[in-house]
Amino acid sequence: MLVSFYSWSLEGFDYEGGKTLGTHARFILFWPLIVALSYAQVRANAAFAAAGLIAASVIVSFFTALAARHGGLDQLLNTRLGGGINPISFGNIALLGGMLTITGGLFFAREKRYILALLFLITGVAAVTISMLSETRSNLVALPFLLLALVPLLGKKLRLAGLILIPVLVLAAVAGSDRMSRSVEGAFENGNLDTEMEIRLEVWGLAWAMFRDNPWTGIGLGGYTHSIETSVESGDASAILFDCCTGHAHNDLLNNAATSGIPGILSWLFLIFIPLTIFARHLFSKHAPTAHLAAAGTMVTAGYFFFGLTEATFNRTLFLTFYLLAVAGLGSALFNELSASYTRKRKQKVSATIITKNEEDHIADCLQSARLVSDEIIVLDSGSSDRTVEIAKQYADIVEVTDWPGFGIQKQRALEKATGDWVLSLDADERITPELAREINHHLADPDADAYKLPWAVTIYGKRLDFGRSGRAPLRLFLREGVRFSDALVHERILLPEGRKTKTLRGRLTHYTHRDFGHSLEKSAKYAWLGSLEKHRRGKKARTMIYPTLRGILTFVQVYFIRFGFLDGAVGYLTAVTYAQVTFNKYAGLWTLSSKKTFPSQSKNNRRD
């Protein structure tokens, strides 16, 4: 929505662009929908019931069209079925509705609700078959990938059969499509594409030229329309484009590139691939509702990717609205099912280890959260001057005060005191959320890995960051046998024996990194200098100040752009700058340690001054 408004404003609030902006404005409803559906506890039953209604409406549309032709089935089969709307929109949405209904049928079969499963499977197959009557070629391109999303839902013995069946079904669909058959025959026999594909190639070339001339801003939401009209009027483009292609470029990627430039490309990538990644990661979940919802969500996002190859789906109101509702509904149901799936009780003994110094503001909350998943809590303090030790003794099983040898050695000392089969290594400024605790206990009822990473949710200046530095998942929970910590002064690593399996959990590990900006500066300076000393101890060198500068810039790019820190707003920017400064200071410190010839003379000059 922001990218669209940006493009519209750059072109001077054009009327044509305003209409496109009005379509894109529907995406404002995404987060309210997610919140509402999550609080309404929408789950798999409701999501698949909605899909069944879509498929049922497709069947009703077919019989309505048949009745309008007084039962003339042959006549109906010889025309492109549109269900009263554009045949492309009807075909694509009918295909998705049918595939989602088939997924629902498989879910109900897994739940042993066989009559309902049979009804959904029949309805879904009928909707998919009817969708092919629209003669929409993008359906045939998307079909194998939609069918592929069903394969993880089959038993292991059936998956190979499913993979073999997919090309058979696709070839049958292609053979049954007169329009696709004519296109294929024309391409192979005469080397010519049909008129519609030639038109698309022409308009794609024009859209690419618009992007090439305006890569950072695009030509504007309404600029595409005006550019096509001008090209037709001047004779530089085919006259037929005036009738078919002034609204959009018939390709999502090229349309966004032409109208909004690189920001438009990024917005399209986010809309498709962020939800696709989230859904796809749960395809092989052992929890049936989660796996089936993941398959359904994967179908929607993958389907829109392939539909968008020949259609600007996000410029059409019906397409956009369907995507908005489908992703929000399936996403809410998926997360509700995930939360409800953590029901098993932990069978493994867990020891939590925490090292501290002057953490009286954090230690009580940290230990209380650790107790949700731990049978034993060990705290090693390195000489706190506040009430840290006193508070820790109220919650921990073992509290000892030691010297400070560095992060790695201190955490290794705590590990050696653990008696549990599993160890949870926390920092004092971290918290196990209740949902993460349920997830950990669920997994440790029957561990499916030897170690688990816990995704960070960095909370700083009153805001929880979901990107940037929060785009990391540190290793925190592991099977104790054979594991040790590196002896690094800072940024120690957990060294797992070779062959150990690691997984990332879904729940968030809340990380309160700084109390305020002053504490941020103090802590950043400390970590930067410790990092300098550690690298110097390992024989690393920085020969010029160019290297610290480049490393600082690269850190900013990584945190702010590659890890999408800009999506965290102003705090995300401040965090990226802070980490860039830490990186610069670390390597600048290494440069001073590496400059043995100049450093002593500088010290003498300082004493003389």
User: Looking at the predicted structure, is the pLDDT value of residue 604 above 60?
Assistant: no
Report which residue type is found at 225. Answer: T
* Confidence band of 183 (pLDDT split at 50, 70, 90): low
> By the 8 A CB rule, do 370 and 350 touch?
no
Q: Is the pLDDT of residue 173 over 50?
A: yes
> H-helix or E-strand containing 536?
helix 517-537
| Residue 433 confidence (pLDDT) | 94
Asked if 473 and 576 sit in the same domain, the reply is no
pLDDT of 600 > 70? The answer is no
Q: Closest Cα to residue 581, out of 541, 525, 540?
A: 525
Give the mean model confidence (pLDDT) for residues 206-220: 95
Q: In what order do the strands lie in the sheet with 509-512?
A: 430-432, 509-512, 456-460, 463-464
Q: Which long-range contacts (CB under 8 A, 24 or more apart) does 61-67 make?
A: 61/90, 61/94, 61/130, 62/130, 62/133
With 80 as the cut, is the pLDDT of residue 76 above it?
no
pLDDT at 189 over 70: no
Question: Are 347 and 60 in contact, with CB atoms under 8 Å apart?
Answer: no
Alpha-carbon dihedral sign for residues 526, 530, 536, 539 = negative
Token readout for 184 is 């294929």
Residue that finishes a domain, picked among 480, 512, 544: 512
pLDDT of residue 186: 62
477: left (phi over 0), alpha (psi -120 to 50) or beta: beta
List, for residues 453-473, the tens digit of each pLDDT value.
Answer: 999 988 888 888 888 877 789
Encoded amino acid at 316, one letter: R
Across 180-184, 364-368, 454-458, least confident range: 180-184
Span 562-590, mean pLDDT? Answer: 92
Residue 78, pLDDT above cutoff 80:
no
Give the Cα separation of 401 and 384 in Å (integer). 8
- What SS3 class is residue 545? coil
Tell me, yes or no, whether 459 and 531 share the same domain: no
Q: Is the pLDDT of residue 396 over 70?
A: yes
**421: phi then psi, degrees, rounded to nearest 5:** -70, -30
pLDDT of 44: 97
Between 188 and 244, the more confident residue is: 244
Phi/psi for 176 (5° steps) reads -85, -5
The answer on 484 and 385 residing in a single domain is yes
Q: How many other CB atoms are there within 10 angstroms of residue 487's CB atom?
A: 16
Rounded alpha-carbon distances, angstroms, from residue 359 to 290, 294, 377, 503: 39, 41, 16, 30
Which residues, 6+ apart, have CB-to-CB distance to 38 below 8 Å?
Answer: 332, 335, 336
Integer Cα distance of 167 and 147 in angstroms: 10
CA 440/CA 345 separation, integer angstroms:
9
Choose among 119, 174, 122: nearest CA to 143. 174
Whole-number pLDDT of residue 184:
63
pLDDT at 305 over 90: yes
Same domain, 307 and 416: no
Same domain membership, residue 496 and residue 362: yes
Instruction: Map tokens 């706190």 to a residue.
Output: 384
Partners of residue 350 on adjacent β-strands: 422
Same domain, 504 and 526: no
Distance from first CA to last CA of the chain, Å, rounded?
59
Q: Which CATH number belongs to the domain containing residue 404 in this structure?
A: 3.90.550.10
Domain total in the chain: 3
Count, residues in the chain: 609
Say if residue 373 is in the same domain as residue 324: no
Q: Residue 597 phi/psi, 5° resolution? A: -75, -35
Distance of alpha carbon 76 from the chain centroid: 42
326 and 472 share one domain? no
Residue where the block lists tokens 């009580």: 364
DSSP state for residue 450 in the 8-state scheme: S
pLDDT at 498 over 80: yes
Tokens representing residue 95 in the block: 């295909």
∠349-352-354 over CA atoms, to 5°? 170
Give dist(CA 300, CA 321) in Å, integer.
13
Residue 314 scores a pLDDT above 50:
yes
Q: pLDDT tens, 42-75?
A: 999 999 999 999 999 999 999 999 888 766 777 7
Q: Report the distance separating Cα 589 and Cα 470, nearest Å.
A: 26
Distance, CA of 8 to CA of 25 (rounded, Å): 12
Confidence at residue 538, expressed as pLDDT on a 0 to 100 scale: 87
Residues 37 and 148 in one domain: yes
Which residue range is the domain that position 94 belongs to? 2-341
In 306-397, the DSSP E strands lie at: 350-356, 376-381
Q: Which pLDDT belongs to residue 181?
A: 67
Question: Is there a single domain that holds both residue 115 and residue 187?
Answer: yes
Residue type for position 50: A
Q: How far apart are CA 113 and CA 120, in angstroms?
A: 11
Lowest mean pLDDT among 319-328, 337-346, 367-376: 337-346
Residue (of 431, 417, 427, 430) closest to 378 by Cα position = 417
Quick one: which of 21, 27, 19 has its CA closest to 4?
21
- Average pLDDT of span 306-324: 95
pLDDT at position 193 is 67
Residues 231 and 325 placed together within one structural domain of the fold: yes
Phi-psi region of 83 (alpha: psi -120 to 50; beta: other; left: phi over 0): left
Question: Cα separation of 445 and 455, whole Å?
Answer: 20
State the Rg of the chain over Cα. Answer: 30
Contacts of 252 by beta carbon, 8 Å cutoff, 6+ apart: 268, 304, 308, 309, 311, 312, 313, 314
What integer pLDDT is reported at residue 605 of this predicted model?
44
Q: Which among 289, 324, 341 is the end of a domain?
A: 341
What pLDDT was estimated at residue 596? 60
User: What does the pLDDT average to over 448-452?
Assistant: 96
| Whether residue 156 sits in one domain with residue 16 | yes
Question: pLDDT tens digits for 99-137?
Answer: 999 999 999 999 999 999 999 999 999 999 999 999 898
pLDDT > 80? residue 187? no
Q: Nearest CA to 478 among 445, 498, 450, 447? A: 450
pLDDT score, position 599: 46
> In this predicted structure, what is the pLDDT of residue 70?
63
Q: Which amino acid is at 263?
A: P
Single residue among 488, 512, 536 that ends a domain in this structure: 512
Tell me what the pLDDT averaged over the chain comes to: 91
How far from the centroid of its chain's Cα atoms is residue 599's Cα? 48
Please, which pLDDT band fits residue 393 given cuts at 50, 70 and 90?
very high
Task: With a cut of 70, say whether residue 80 has pLDDT above it.
Answer: yes
- Give the span between the Cα atoms of 183 and 189, in whole angstroms: 10
For position 491, what pLDDT does the model report? Answer: 81
